Amino acid sequence: MPPKGGRANFASLVGAVGDNSPVDRKRTTTSPKTVDAEPVDGQFMADVPVKQLVANPRNPRDEVGDLSDLATITDRQLQPGTAVSRAAWLKLWPEDETEIGTAQYVVVNGNRRLAAAVKYGREGLDVVVRDSIAASRGEVLWAATSENIDRRDFDVVEEAKAVELMVKEFGSADAAAAKLGRSKGWVSQRRALLKLAPELQAALRAGDLAVRHARTLAKVPLEEQVAAWEAAQNPDPDKATAEPEPNDPQTDAPERKQQEKPTGAEPAKKVVQALKKLGVDPAVLAAAVRQHYSSDEQRKLIDALELG
């Protein structure tokens, strides 16, 4: 049995099934029949030879990830995959014919199960053939994306790429949001992550950069993003203003109370705390202000700073 664990990408998976399947079949199977041009919907097919299945070439995921959690697939398959017939797929993407090879079905949902079957030596998979999914490219993409969103092993950058593809296929962010059952704000936030520098996308995938911070950095000009992140990671202690501890008697000093402004003090304090956490350089902050505020709002800000 092949070793357990390890990551694999979808490019290698697509090439590892169909005619190139490493699975050595010990039983005699009938030759694959030519798929009828008539669409098939809801047909359950048990133990379809891996040779007749191919991974979705348009899967929004870059990798299938660590497959060790699916090692038991050699003994049992708890849930069938979802596939479309070769004919239905090629009506949408005729350019995929070479990549599909002689496989008779394209797996839309269940690509990790297919990868695990290949890796651990399972000879066949149960699938449900649903050609209704192949009504349009957008529907296929939605079916593949909706299965993966919110999965722990589906990283946020892959999710953002999938959302962007949905927007392109459905014509607008609003249409993609409605199809995914998400808010417009959620779609906008995911798309914003694609504006990050490659270094920050890698940090996001590795878990070194939080999504909430990534969305803030995405608003900074591309060439300044890495510097802004590094500044946030390593704030200059000389620029930080020390604040008294909550139990410091100076907190209740009359002099301090006189300095506090009665209106807008709390919101301003929260903004100050956020800036301290990010360690934002004035140049980066200015760039963010220019991007976020209109010209009129910028003038009001300048006036307020001068009055202060």
Is residue 36 scored above 70 in pLDDT? Answer: no
* Domain range annotation of the chain: 7-151, 198-244+263-307
Band of the pLDDT at 279, cuts 50, 70, 90? low
Residue pLDDT, tens place only, 104-152:
999 999 988 999 999 999 999 999 999 999 999 999 989 888 777 756 5
Q: For residue 117, how many C-alpha atoms fall within 13 Å in the half-sphere facing its CB?
A: 32
In this predicted structure, what is the pLDDT of residue 85? Answer: 95
Asked if the model's pLDDT at residue 20 lies above 50, the reply is no
Take residue 35 and report the two structure tokens written for it. Answer: 């798929």
From the number of C-beta atoms within 10 Å of its C-beta (0-12, 13-18, 19+), residue 90 rates as middle
Minimum mean pLDDT among 85-89, 178-182, 265-269, 295-299: which range?
A: 265-269
pLDDT confidence of residue 37: 54
Greater confidence, 127 or 284?
127
DSSP 57-113: TT-S-SEEEE-GGGGGGGT--SS-EEEEEHHHHHHH-GGGHHHHTT-SEEEEE-HHH
Residues 168 and 173: their CA atoms lie apart, in Å, by 8
The SS3 of residue 128 is: strand
Position 156 scores a pLDDT of 84
**Given this model, what pLDDT does residue 22 score?**
41
Q: Please, which pLDDT band fits residue 263 given cuts at 50, 70 and 90?
A: very low
Q: Quote the distance between the C-alpha of residue 260 and its chain's center.
A: 45
Q: Which of 168 and 7 is assigned the larger pLDDT?
A: 168
Residue 244 binned pLDDT confidence (cut-offs 50, 70, 90): very low
For range 159-171, the mean pLDDT: 90
- The pLDDT of residue 58: 86
At 86-101, the pLDDT tens digits run 999 999 999 999 999 9
What pLDDT is recorded for position 62?
72
Kindly list the strands in the beta sheet with 105-109, ordered across the sheet, starting from the edge strand earlier in the chain: 41-49, 124-130, 81-85, 105-109, 53-55
Q: How far apart are CA 89 and CA 37, in angstroms?
A: 11
- At 280, the pLDDT band (50, 70, 90 cuts) reads low
pLDDT reported for residue 151: 64
SS3 content of the chain, % helix, strand, coil (to 5): 55, 10, 30
Strand 7-9 vs strand 63-66: parallel, antiparallel, or unpaired? antiparallel
How far apart (Å, rounded) are the C-alpha atoms in residues 15 and 26? 22
How confident is the model at residue 192, as a pLDDT? Answer: 92
For residue 241, give every residue at least 6 positions away whose Cβ sits within 8 Å of its Cβ, in sequence order, or none: 276
CA atoms of 81 and 223, how far apart (whole Å)? 44
Q: What is the mean pLDDT of the chain?
A: 77
Compare 22 and 286 and report the one with higher pLDDT.
Answer: 286
Going 9 to 1 to 20 to 38, the CA torsion angle's sign is negative
